[in-house]
């Protein structure tokens, strides 16, 4: 038997505690083999490689299956870095933890991101509005082509420049995409072996086959709007231009209204996923090799700085090409090369309440928009490419000193910073990330199942790359794995055994409620 009933003996009160670990009384279980002999075998183990959004949520989904069905597996999470969160992590100005931290990687999610939204509720984490308000500008490298706030006059400015049709049409494309996206959280969620099948079933093939510029252009959105407004969004979110990035990610870049971040850092979501999962987490542990235990078995060996461990299944939750992991060549050859955008993030503090107006050819007395976005459209017409992708003020770190974040393709020098912030630069912190995949229009995606018992969460990234979608991809991967190896799943109930009447599942919403989230409420 693969499932045991220890869960059913839990006292009822446990049902209402979210942070609980399923107590497994024994590390070994008695199983009947095919000819009815009872054998003592080790509890099956699953390895997860990577403790970012994808890996931490994978551990959490497995724990949900353990909680619901008494599925008997143990999970080990390997993480190269000394922290949980991967591309979601914070740093403190001046390395002083009394000051408010700044996100160094992923900073925002929205209400339609129901896994993260729900997780922040369940884990009592506080969501803050991301934007502090103020003006947003669009810089083309030589001139400030637009500067808007949220007053009525600014709406008039936008309508004057672009007319009403382009903004409305864009909004309706994005709304349609978000509406469809919400299907991921319903009982009718697609389940997929191949991402191209998912694109078809979601009705998103035209999105991923077309560049953002083509698709939006084909829908009647004007070139000016695409290359000034839509492109400002694709550049700040993905460091890519509207004529290069596919339209699904282009639309996702625009679906950021009501953006939120977790107070103190988004990484806490992922720390909590792990803490609630009961998985063992090995930080500072680099996986170097994944090998098949033998030609005939479907078991895996994971080699890391801790030594070798055997597993029934392995979930790879990091972009394969950046992990340095050696895989059997029959497997590594089926995963295509995947270039990532190499992004420079520069965080700094300044006592200057505004960036240098002269840099933007504004009068000395002017205040530069606090959120400066950019477009490639000047360069497209023979002008100068902006020296950064985006530059934004992020509130006061203390009285009279502000935190600023700059994304750029190249390193930003100290001299440049001194000029931009009028000689009033305090602390500076630089980080280079392989931030997100290059996302050109495409018809093919990396495989999700690399071999029996070996799954790849980050195959999803060239489709959409966000924290939330990594938790959706991991849910799909965990379901595939559980059904293949354990005849189980996160949600679908197996025929209940008589004792399972007081099964400790916390039902907080039913499928018809708007708050229903599959995986959480199933
Ligand atoms: C600057 C920046 C801004 C972003 N902004 C947003 C945003 O606002 N909103 C949003 O939703 N997304 C944003 N993203 C994208 C988002 O960060 C990613 O899509 C998401 O965090 C990816 O999660 P993941 O778990 O799949 O991968 P990762 O977070 O990369 O996690 C993979 C983990 O695997 C570990 N690892 C790698 N190799 C090994 C090995 N050999 N052994 C052991 N461990 C290994 C890594 O150390 C890492 O911790 C941003 C990204 C960046 C860089
Ligand atoms: C850290 O910041 C706090 C708040 O501004 C300040 O009181 C404290 O002196 C700082 N610590 C160090 C070591 O600079
Ligand atoms: C969250 O807060 C509520 C109310 O304060 C409390 O009942 C609950 O146990 C907390 N949950 C967690 C996970 O800390
Ligand atoms: C691109 O999008 C348009 C709609 O804007 C659609 O008609 C066309 O078929 C799409 N192209 C591809 C290759 O999917
Ligand atoms: C999660 O658990 C680790 C180790 O037990 C602990 O250090 C960390 O503070 C916990 N994180 C949260 C957010 O509770
Ligand atoms: C899988 O589980 C279902 C019940 O959910 C059961 O009917 C079926 O026989 C099981 N299959 C195997 C191979 O154990």
Digit-coded pLDDT (tens) for 413-457: 999 999 999 999 999 999 999 999 999 999 999 999 999 999 999
pLDDT over 90, % of the chain = 81
Find the 272 Cα to ligand 5 centroid distance in Å. Answer: 7
Same domain, 128 and 233: yes
Of all protein residues, whose CA lies closest to atom 11 belonging to ligand 5?
Answer: 271
3 belongs to a structural domain:
no
Same domain, 238 and 315: no
Q: Which ligand is nearest to the CA of 214?
A: 4
185 belongs to a structural domain:
no
31 Cα distance to chain centroid? 39
Largest CA distance in the chain: 86
pLDDT over 70, % of the chain = 88
What's the pLDDT score for residue 499?
A: 42
The b-or-e profile of 449-470 (16+ CB within 10 A means b, else e) is: bbbebbbbbbbbbbbbbbbbbb
Find the 398 Cα to ligand 2 centroid distance in Å. Answer: 10
Tokens for 445, please give them. Answer: 């995606």
Query: What does the pLDDT look like over 228-285, one tens digit per residue?
Result: 999 999 999 999 999 999 999 999 999 998 999 999 999 999 999 999 999 999 999 9
State how far the Cα of 196 lies from the Cα of 208, in Å rounded to an integer. 9
- Give the count of domains, the chain: 2
Q: Is 99 in the pocket of ligand 2 (CB under 6 A)?
A: yes
Question: Which residue, among 353, 426, 390, 431, has the nearest Cα to 93 in the 3D structure?
Answer: 426
399 belongs to a structural domain:
yes
Tokens for 365, please give them. Answer: 């007395």
Same domain, 395 and 518: no
Same domain, 167 and 226: yes
Find the 212 Cα to ligand 5 centroid distance in Å. Answer: 41
State how far the Cα of 29 lies from the Cα of 40, in Å rounded to an integer. 6
What's the pLDDT score for residue 209?
A: 98
Q: Is 272 in the pocket of ligand 5 (CB under 6 A)?
A: yes
Tokens for 160, please give them. Answer: 């004057």
Question: Which residue, among 93, 42, 78, has the nearest Cα to 299 in the 3D structure?
Answer: 42
Q: Is 443 in the pocket of ligand 2 (CB under 6 A)?
A: no
308 belongs to a structural domain:
yes
SS3 content of the chain, % helix, strand, coil (to 5): 35, 25, 45
Residue 201 makes CB contacts below 8 A (sequence gap 6+) with 190, 192
Query: What does the pLDDT look like over 454-474, one tens digit per residue?
Result: 999 999 999 999 999 999 999
What's the pLDDT score for residue 420?
A: 98
Same domain, 137 and 266: no
Query: What does the pLDDT look like over 190-200, one tens digit per residue?
Result: 999 999 999 99
337 has a pLDDT exceeding 90: yes
Residue 300 makes CB contacts below 8 A (sequence gap 6+) with 47, 290, 291, 292, 293, 310, 311, 312, 313, 314, 453, 454
Same domain, 219 and 166: yes
Find the 394 Cα to ligand 2 centroid distance in Å. Answer: 19
Contact 451, 461 (CB under 8 A): no
Range of the domain at 358: 90-111+123-178+205-261+341-437
3-state secondary structure of 236: helix
Same domain, 151 and 104: yes
Q: Is 124 in the pocket of ligand 3 (CB under 6 A)?
A: yes
* Distances, alpha carbon 175 to alpha carbons 142, 153, 159, 223, 399, in Å: 33, 25, 20, 20, 39
Of all protein residues, whose CA lies closest to atom 3 belonging to ligand 5?
Answer: 275
Same domain, 514 and 455: yes
Question: Which residue, among 312, 337, 266, has the nearest Cα to 56 in the 3D structure?
Answer: 266
Find the 43 Cα to ligand 2 centroid distance in Å. Answer: 49
pLDDT band at residue 42, thresholds of 50, 70 and 90?
confident
What's the pLDDT score for residue 439?
A: 98
3-state secondary structure of 462: coil
| Ligand 2 atom nearest to CA at 96 | 1
Determine which helix (DSSP H) or strand (DSSP E) holds 293, and give its type and residue range. none
State how far the Cα of 224 lies from the Cα of 378, in Å rounded to an integer. 12
State how far the Cα of 250 lies from the Cα of 124, in Å rounded to an integer. 32
Looking up residue 140, the CATH number of its domain turns out to be: 3.90.660
Name the domain boundary from 385, 406, 437.
437
11 belongs to a structural domain:
no
For a ligand 1 pocket test, name from 48, 49, 51, 52 the mutation site with the most ligand atoms within 8 angstroms of its C-beta.
52
Of all protein residues, whose CA lies closest to atom 8 belonging to ligand 5?
Answer: 271
Same domain, 396 and 432: yes
pLDDT band at residue 399, thresholds of 50, 70 and 90?
very high
Nearest-5° Cα angle at 436, 433 to 438: 120
DSSP 333-364: TTS----EEEEEEEEEEES-SS--GGGGT--T
Name the domain boundary from 437, 454, 474.
437
Of all protein residues, whose CA lies closest to atom 10 belonging to ligand 6?
Answer: 487
pTM (two decimals): 0.90
17 belongs to a structural domain:
no
Q: Is 271 in the pocket of ligand 5 (CB under 6 A)?
A: yes
Q: Is 19 in the pocket of ligand 3 (CB under 6 A)?
A: yes
Same domain, 61 and 155: no
Where would I find the beta strands (DSSP E) of 50-125?
74-78, 90-91, 102-103
Find the 462 Cα to ligand 1 centroid distance in Å. Answer: 13
State how far the Cα of 234 lies from the Cα of 109, in Å rounded to an integer. 16
Q: Pocket residues for ligand 4 (CB within 6 Å)? A: 206, 209-210, 214-215, 218-219
Looking up residue 496, the CATH number of its domain turns out to be: 3.50.50.60
State how far the Cα of 325 lies from the Cα of 304, in Å rounded to an integer. 10
| Ligand 3 atom nearest to CA at 122 | 13
Tokens for 355, please give them. Answer: 């960036």
Contact 41, 110 (CB under 8 A): no
Where would I find the beta strands (DSSP E) of 250-306?
260-262, 280-282, 287-292, 300-304
510 belongs to a structural domain:
yes
- Strand 401-408 to 390-398 pairing: antiparallel
Q: Pocket residues for ligand 6 (CB within 6 Å)? A: 487, 494-495
34 has a pLDDT exceeding 60: no
Same domain, 246 and 138: yes
State how far the Cα of 107 lies from the Cα of 125, in Å rounded to an integer. 15
Residue written as token pair 């495409």: 442
Q: Which ligand is nearest to the CA of 80?
A: 1
Same domain, 99 and 158: yes
Nearest-5° Cα angle at 442, 439 to 446: 80
Of all protein residues, whose CA lies closest to atom 3 belonging to ligand 3?
Answer: 124
Q: Is 506 in the pocket of ligand 3 (CB under 6 A)?
A: no
Name the domain boundary from 389, 407, 437.
437
5 belongs to a structural domain:
no
Arithmetic mean of pLDDT over the chain: 89
Find the 349 Cα to ligand 2 centroid distance in Å. Answer: 14
pLDDT band at residue 134, thresholds of 50, 70 and 90?
confident
Provide the β-strand partners of residue 30: 40
Q: Is 400 in the pocket of ligand 2 (CB under 6 A)?
A: no
Question: Which residue, among 325, 319, 399, 387, has the nearest Cα to 356 in the 3D structure?
Answer: 387
pLDDT band at residue 41, thresholds of 50, 70 and 90?
low
506 has a pLDDT exceeding 50: no
| Ligand 5 atom nearest to CA at 272 | 13
Query: What does the pLDDT look like over 278-304, one tens digit per residue?
Result: 999 999 999 999 999 777 667 999 999
166 has a pLDDT exceeding 50: yes
User: What sections of 370-449 are H helices per DSSP?
Assistant: 377-380, 414-420
């Amino acid at each position: 038997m693969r499932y045991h009933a220890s869960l059913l003996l839990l006292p009822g009160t446990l049902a209402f505690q979210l942070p609980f670990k399923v107590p497994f009384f024994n590390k070994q279980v008695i199983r009947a083999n095919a000819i009815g002999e009872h054998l003592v075998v080790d509890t099956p183990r699953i390895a997860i490689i990577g403790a970012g959004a994808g890996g931490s949520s994978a551990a959490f989904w497995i724990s949900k299956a353990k909680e619901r069905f008494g599925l008997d597996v143990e999970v080990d999470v390997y993480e190269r870095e000394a922290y949980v969160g991967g591309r979601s992590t914070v740093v403190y100005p001046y390395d002083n933890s009394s000051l408010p931290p700044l996100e160094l990687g992923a900073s925002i999610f929205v209400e339609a991101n129901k896994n993260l939204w729900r997780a922040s509720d369940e884990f009592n984490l506080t969501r803050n509005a991301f934007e502090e308000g103020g003006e947003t500008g669009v810089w083309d490298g030589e001139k400030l082509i637009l500067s808007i706030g949220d007053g009525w006059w600014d709406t008039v400015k936008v309508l004057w420049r672009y007319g009403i049709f382009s903004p409305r049409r864009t909004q309706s494309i994005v709304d349609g995409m978000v509406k469809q996206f919400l299907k991921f959280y319903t009982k009718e969620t697609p389940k997929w072996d191949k991402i191209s099948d998912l694109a078809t079933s979601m009705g998103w093939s035209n999105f991923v086959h077309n560049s953002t510029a083509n698709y939006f252009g084909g829908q009647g959105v004007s070139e000016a709007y695409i290359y000034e407004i839509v492109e400002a969004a694709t550049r700040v979110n993905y460091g890519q231009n509207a004529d290069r990035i596919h339209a699904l990610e282009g639309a996702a870049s625009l679906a950021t209204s009501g953006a939120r971040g977790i107070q103190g850092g988004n990484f806490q979501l992922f720390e909590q996923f792990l803490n609630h999962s009961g998985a063992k987490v090995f930080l500072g542990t680099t996986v170097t090799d994944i090998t098949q235990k033998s030609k005939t078995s479907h078991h895996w060996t994971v080699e890391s700085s801790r030594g070798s461990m055997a597993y029934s299944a392995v979930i790879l939750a990091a972009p394969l090409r950046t992990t340095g992991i050696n895989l059997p060549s029959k497997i590594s050859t089926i995963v295509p090369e995947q270039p990532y955008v190499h992004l420079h993030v520069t965080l700094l503090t300044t006592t200057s309440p505004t960036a240098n107006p002269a840099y933007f050819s504004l009068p000395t007395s002017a205040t530069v928009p606090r959120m400066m976005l950019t477009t490639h459209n000047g360069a497209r017409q023979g002008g100068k490419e902006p020296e950064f992708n985006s530059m934004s003020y992020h509130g006061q770190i203390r009285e009279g000193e502000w935190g600023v974040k700059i994304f750029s393709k190249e390193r930003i020098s100290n001299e440049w910073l001194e000029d931009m912030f009028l000689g009033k630069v305090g602390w500076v912190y630089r980080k280079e990330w392989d931030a997100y995949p290059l996302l050109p229009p495409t018809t093919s995606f990396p495989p999700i199942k690399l071999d029996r018992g070996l799954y790849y969460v980050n195959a999803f990234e060239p489709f959409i790359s966000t924290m939330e979608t990594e938790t959706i991809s991991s849910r799909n991967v965990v379901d595939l794995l559980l059904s293949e190896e354990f005849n189980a799943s996160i949600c679908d109930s197996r025929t209940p055994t008589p004792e399972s009447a007081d099964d400790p599942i916390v039902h907080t919403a039913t499928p018809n409620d708007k708050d229903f989230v599959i995986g959480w409420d199933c």
